[in-house]
A and B are shown apart, each in its own frame.
Chain A
Amino acid sequence: MPESQLDTARDQGGADPASSPSVPPARPSGSGSRAASAPGGSLPLPPAAGHTVTLERLNAYYGGRRTIRDVDLTFAPNEVTALIGPSGSGKSTVVRCINRMHEEIPAARAEGRVLLDGEDVYGPGVDVTTVRRVIGMVFQKPNPFPTMSIFDNVAAGLRLAGVRGGEMRERVHQALRAVGLWDEVSDRLGSPGVGLSGGQQQRLCIARTIAVEPEVILMDEPCSALDPIATLKIEELIDELKVRYTIVIVTHNMQQAARVADSTAFLLDGELVEHAPTEEIFTNPKDERTERYVTGKFG
């Protein structure tokens, strides 16, 4: 079992890695590089042992105001967990606490523990940029870097962490194949990333995220800015990605949760109301508030 990524950073005292020890090497694709491609040019992803994320008594504050209240939640490895709930219920905040993006907002803080395979990402001496390399995030509005080409966008996380040359190129190509963009962009890797359509841009952002080989992928309403066809493509992609990563997806679209997620958690006013296999949440919810939400009585 590979040493915990967070330990590596701690041993280095949080020094900025000039070489790439804290970016995990590309795991060999099981069937070799000549594997048959699925339509779209995507390669079936080689599976990888999953990672568990556990939230223990998570509380989040904006200044003095507590917006997430005592949340205990476990995200099972190699599964997709959806967070649903009305606007303002704290879904995005919970997810941003997992990769410690929440604390980037001035006067925002989190309390409690977020355990990645048993190790607290808020623990003393933990390097926050390493946490974010290991727990990746895809945002609601696709945000490719405007001054970079398609290739450079996917390579951004690698290049700026010291991976170079042939290995970098290989991983960029793998990532583009994995998200199904390869056929569409392989002949124009040098053209600007912002020249793609919305759905393609979002897949580009996902490729950028997986190029650094995270263990967990957080997705904050990744499809809400996209059209239905693009949404479908990304949902298919999520289904393929989970063999390799643990995925948490925030969505305000219950149908999407039903399509994509293995288990679903319902949040209301910053509290976790119920967490159950997706089918149960929608057909047989245990809590009355969950039932009212999923049947559309509010939200």
Chain B
Amino acid sequence: MSALAQPAPGSRLHADRRYRRRRLLSRAVEGISTLAAALAVAVLALVIVSVALRAAPAINLDFFTKDPAPFGAPGGGIRDMIVGSAILVGIASAIAIPLGILVAIYTTEFAGHRVATTIRFALDILNGVPTIVVGIFIYGLLVIGRTQSGWAGALALSVVELPIVARSAQEVLGLVPRALHEAGLALGLRRWRIVLRIVLPTAAGGLLTGAVLGVARVAGETAPLLFTTSIFSTFGTPTNPGEALPNIPVEIFSLSESPSPQDHARAWAAALVLVGFVLIVSIVARTFNERSRRRLGS
């Protein structure tokens, strides 16, 4: 016979008052966080839907394949801007992606601890520099005393893209297990060979993700281009980076300042193109990420 007081029959397994209060609190917090998540997703959906709705009148095949129409005239498209943006983002990425990955390799594989920390810190600060400041900086460097040019615009974009790619590459390279380095070292391989043939292929998926996200980010950056490649002609389809190149973000800006409602619709349509691009690119990035995660986890 136990000396402990027996609880009332049936109530041993039921929640007491204190426990019930805790359970209520837990459920409330669960509910609030679910609401917050739903809100975040809803905002994204709202943005996409409202842009799509307002863009609808202007979206047609011509939009993608024709030059902008002269002021006030109907029709026309943003073909030149798509081409121009592609060139600008292409050049910027050709600079920022290799550089970013190389910097990341340096800090994770070769640099001492203090140097690596300093570089990481510098990249974080660069990441935080407002893009308009980057735009003015390149303006002062390359545009004053000369003309605007696609090179200046691409360079400004690459300054924005570099820290994004580098930081993400650092994270991914840091995830490659030391065991792989050790296996390579124990075989008598030199460090750069280990990095090139073992570390990089293992981290490839994640590196690609970071690169792709960097591209998505700068595709829509406006401020760097406002000072460097915003006064352009659309005669023919400009592709020479020596001159200012038409591009989507600046076009959205100018179209929105126009009094014509058709231009406004076109601005929304151009915005939809950007949003669509970011969406597609993000999905692509997720796929690469899954691949890399699988490799590193095995």
Contacts and interface: CB of A to CB of B under 8 A. Distances in A.
A130 B188 contact: yes
Interface stretch (A110-118, A140-148, A247-255, A272-280): A140-148
B180, B183, B298 — which one has the most chain A CB atoms within 10 A of its CB? B183
B239 to A, nearest CB: 38
A146 B184 CA distance: 12
A129 interface: yes
Contacts of A106: 113
Contacts of B189: 129, 156-157, 160-161
B187 A147 contact: no
B188 A101 contact: no
A208 interface: yes
Contacts of B298: 146, 194
A145 B188 CA distance: 15
B110 to A, nearest CB: 13
Q: Which of B180, B186, B201 has the most CB of A within 10 A?
A: B186
Interface in B110-167: 113
B35 interface: no
A145 B185 contact: no
Contact of B186 (A132, A160, A194): A132
Contacts of B190: 16, 129
A132 B185 contact: yes
B69 to A, nearest CB: 52
Interface string B283-296: 00000000000011
B198 to A, nearest CB: 6
Contact of B185 (A16, A101, A141, A147): A101
A136 B201 contact: no
B198 A145 contact: yes
**Chain A CB within 10 Å, residue with most, of B180, B182, B188:** B188
Interface string B262-298: 0000000000000000000000000000000001101
Contact of B188 (A104, A131, A147, A194): A131
A177 interface: no
B1 interface: no
Interface in B184-230: 184-190, 193, 197-198, 201-202, 204
A212 interface: yes
B24 interface: no
Given A147-B201, A160-B197, A133 B179 contact: no
A104 B180 contact: no
Given A139-B179, A141-B179, A104 B193 contact: no
Nearest to A193: B298
A159 B148 CA distance: 50
Given A143-B180, A146-B202, A104 B197 contact: no
Interface string A202-221: 00010011001000000000
A145 B179 contact: no
16 contacts: A101-B185, A104-B185, A132-B188, A133-B187, A136-B186, A137-B186, A145-B184, A147-B198, A147-B204, A156-B184, A156-B187, A156-B198, A160-B189, A160-B193, A205-B183, A212-B187
The 7 closest A-B pairs by CB, nearest first: A133-B188, A137-B186, A132-B188, A147-B201, A157-B187, A143-B179, A143-B183
Given A101-B182, A147-B198, A160-B187, 9 more contacts: A129-B188, A133-B187, A145-B180, A145-B184, A156-B198, A157-B189, A160-B197, A205-B183, A209-B187
Interface of A: 16, 99, 101, 104, 106, 129-134, 136-137, 139, 141, 143-147, 156-157, 160-161, 194, 205, 208-209, 212
Interface of B: 113, 177, 179-180, 182-190, 193, 197-198, 201-202, 204, 295-296, 298
